[in-house]
Structure 1
Amino acid sequence: MRADRLVAVLLLLQARGRVTAAELAEELEISVATARRDLEALSAAGIPVYPQQGRGGGWQLVGGARTDLTGLTAAEARALFLMLGPATTAAAPLTSALRKLMRALPATFRADAEAAARAVVSDSARWGEVGRELPELVEDLQGAVVGRRKVRLAYTGRGGRSTERLVDPLGLVDKDGVWYLLAGTDSGRRTFRVDRIAGAQMTDLPAEHPDDFDLSAEWERVVDEVEQRRSLVSAVVLIHDRHVPVLRDQFGRHCEVLGQDAGGRTRVRVAAPMALSIAEHLAGWGARIEVVEPEQVRAELARIGAELVARYAP
């Protein structure tokens, strides 16, 4: 039998005390006959696995063998699920593995492991920022999320003003190396950039954490709000079809193909916070791209072109 399946069988026996061959087959996605052979092989190998006959019977791991076969401490189990993140965002094999491992954990570990699995979402999409090293505060904030304790934050806003507030930490998001804390406040849910948190003190006060809170869904809502602010101005441009992928790399989700132009070029809509932002992105394309509308983007391009001519013309 495969070594990984042997360990899985032992973990399930340790967690449940007694299982039937049918239950084992369903959990490990193998046939009942294979499950029975695995159990018999364990018993023949000297591991104290014994069949129990009669109504409510099954196979049981007995005696001193019922120890923590996972080898994980509570802290290690929590760290593992913090690293893996929520099963809802994982690939199918990882989702299955997380489910089986969660069921195999000692009952006293499961609550923290489940909370840790919901405490972090990893978002690899970029917002044009360079990746950063893991902030020192992240580990402390993760502990506050899992432990459901209020945190007192010293936070510096965009304008440089420092404030202190008591928050209910709900989850952490890693977006391209930039960490964000989602938390409940007196003014509703807010998102805090961890690199702007000057200090965080976990208190003994229990944090409010809605039972129906979904970190992934909440982060999607935050992203939608940010992206709406990042697409206040749009422009329609004409470009050769082979250059569309490059343009999409520049503008990300704010690049929409509208169709083909009569002249054979592709009609594309791009967006950014300001007309100047669009013009700065497009200026390097030169004559390979034509801005159809709006006029303010065309005017910004003309201004940039005039500045370049004034500086670099012979």
Structure 2
Amino acid sequence: MKSSRLVSILLLLQTRGRMTAAQLAEELEVSVRTVYRDVEALSAAGVPLYGDAGHAGGYRLLDGYRTRLTGLTADEAEALFLAGVPGPAAELGLGSVLAAAELKVRAALPVQADRISARFHLDAPGWYADGDETPFLPAVADAVWNSRVLHILYRRWREPTDVERRLEPYGLVLKAGRWYVVAGPGPRTFRVDQILRLTASGEEFGRPEGFDLAAYWTRYQRDFHDRLHRSEAVVRLAPGRTLPSARDLRTEPDGWTRATVPIESVDHAHGEFLRLGTDVEVLQPAELRARIARTVAELAGKYGNFTDDGGD
């Protein structure tokens, strides 16, 4: 991608000083002609880049241009990693920092920045989520950045619902518009919107050596899905109806298909199967079949006396 290549040229020249077109081409794995075009683009963008001919020649930046290129602070540089998700960046308390960083990048590479923002947009939350209130998110993020212990009052789904916990926050994860903090000891995962009270501590902690947040989250999701579907239902599906998770499929004489489907719980499966209407018949477990039968009977009672007299 040209914009990333232009940034790479600037970084190479900042860190290594003078480099020839051939050296840049070898480093970036492009042709020398491409380097010439990129250098022209940088010059047109106002970057003080010049070249010397001869045996000891090459391209270099004007002395001191490193600080004038962006003037990025450490916080602004970190915020750039969230440039594609401005909403979550603001939730983390980095909105103004990110805006300042973007302005400096636009000043250096206006054409490339405008092209990217005009062509790519990331909207992290799901369609049907209004967004959870996370008033303690900035404080949690600060503790993550600075490796500080947190003491929280946390609401969980099982009794006792409200519990006190001491957290060593290793990292934050945004999943479908919802924030989670991964914290030790353990580590364990907590929903940030379920934190009822938070006290920041001056106590520092050390992150476990080799801890990989992305790898942990991948394992956590896999284990979550394994725990999620511990039960199963036996159903009959109408001709043409399929379910992605169905297994042990067997076509019956009337054209319907008998199948086994993993379910999270009777409560959850009750709603999911009702959505399929008459395209599914639940055979087992008996508790689920009886519950759906009761719901259907109640619906029939409500709508049984309906008369459609408005049509032609």
TM-score interval, smaller chain: 0.5 to 0.7
Q: Deviations over 1:247-300 (max 9, x none)?
A: 55xxxxxx3354451444445433333334323322344432122433333233
Could you say if the C-alpha distance between residues 23 and 206 of structure 1 is closer, same or farther in structure 2, counting changes exceeding 3 Å? farther
Alignment of 1:186-205 (within 5 A): 188-205=186-203
Instruction: Tell me the percent identity.
Output: 38
Could you say if the C-alpha distance between residues 15 and 70 of structure 1 is closer, same or farther in structure 2, counting changes exceeding 3 Å? farther
Q: Which has the higher contact order (CA 8 A, sep 6+)?
A: 1
Tell me the amino acid that sits aligned with residue 48 of structure 2: I
Could you say if the C-alpha distance between residues 38 and 176 of structure 1 is closer, same or farther in structure 2, counting changes exceeding 3 Å? closer
Tell me the amino acid that sits aligned with residue 139 of structure 1: P
CA separation in 2, counterparts of 1:124 and 1:269? 34
Alignment of 1:66-215 (within 5 A): 66-84=66-84, 130-133=129-132, 135-158=134-157, 159=159, 161-185=161-185, 188-215=186-213
- Per-residue deviation, 1:196: 1.2
Tell me the amino acid that sits aligned with residue 140 of structure 2: L
Tell me the amino acid that sits aligned with residue 172 of structure 1: L
Could you say if the C-alpha distance between residues 71 and 4 of structure 1 is closer, same or farther in structure 2, counting changes exceeding 3 Å? farther
Could you say if the C-alpha distance between residues 291 and 43 of structure 1 is closer, same or farther in structure 2, counting changes exceeding 3 Å? closer
Q: Deviations over 1:152-208 (max 9, x none)?
A: 3232333464333332111212222221111002xx211111111123344333332
Could you say if the C-alpha distance between residues 25 and 237 of structure 1 is closer, same or farther in structure 2, counting changes exceeding 3 Å? farther
Could you say if the C-alpha distance between residues 123 and 238 of structure 1 is closer, same or farther in structure 2, counting changes exceeding 3 Å? farther
- Per-residue deviation, 1:241: 5.7
Preserved contact between residue 14 and residue 69 of structure 1 (Cα < 8 Å): no
CA separation in 1, counterparts of 2:132 and 2:268? 28
CA separation in 2, counterparts of 1:277 and 1:63? 65
Q: Deviations over 1:224-243 (max 9, x none)?
A: 33333332321132324644
SS of match in other structure, 2:226: helix
Larger deviation, residues 21-30 vs 135-144: 21-30
Preserved contact between residue 17 and residue 61 of structure 1 (Cα < 8 Å): yes
CA separation in 1, counterparts of 2:192 and 2:172? 9
Could you say if the C-alpha distance between residues 189 and 276 of structure 1 is closer, same or farther in structure 2, counting changes exceeding 3 Å? same
Instruction: Indicate the residue corresponding to 2:50 in structure 1.
Output: 49
- Structure 1 position 298 matched with structure 2 position 289: yes
**Aligned-residue CA RMSD (Å):** 3.9
SS of match in other structure, 1:60: strand
CA separation in 2, counterparts of 1:133 and 1:291? 35
Tell me the amino acid that sits aligned with residue 49 of structure 1: Y
Q: Deviations over 1:53-72 (max 9, x none)?
A: 779x8543242334341343
- Structure 2 stretches lacking a partner, 5+ long: 86-104, 106-121, 306-312
Could you say if the C-alpha distance between residues 293 and 26 of structure 1 is closer, same or farther in structure 2, counting changes exceeding 3 Å? farther
With normalisation by structure 2, the TM-score equals 0.67
CA separation in 1, counterparts of 2:233 and 2:47? 73
Tell me the amino acid that sits aligned with residue 130 of structure 1: A
- Structure 1 stretches lacking a partner, 5+ long: 86-104, 106-121, 249-254
Alignment of 1:1-16 (within 5 A): 6=6, 8-16=8-16
Instruction: Indicate the residue corresponding to 2:215 in structure 1.
Output: 217
Matched positions, count: 266
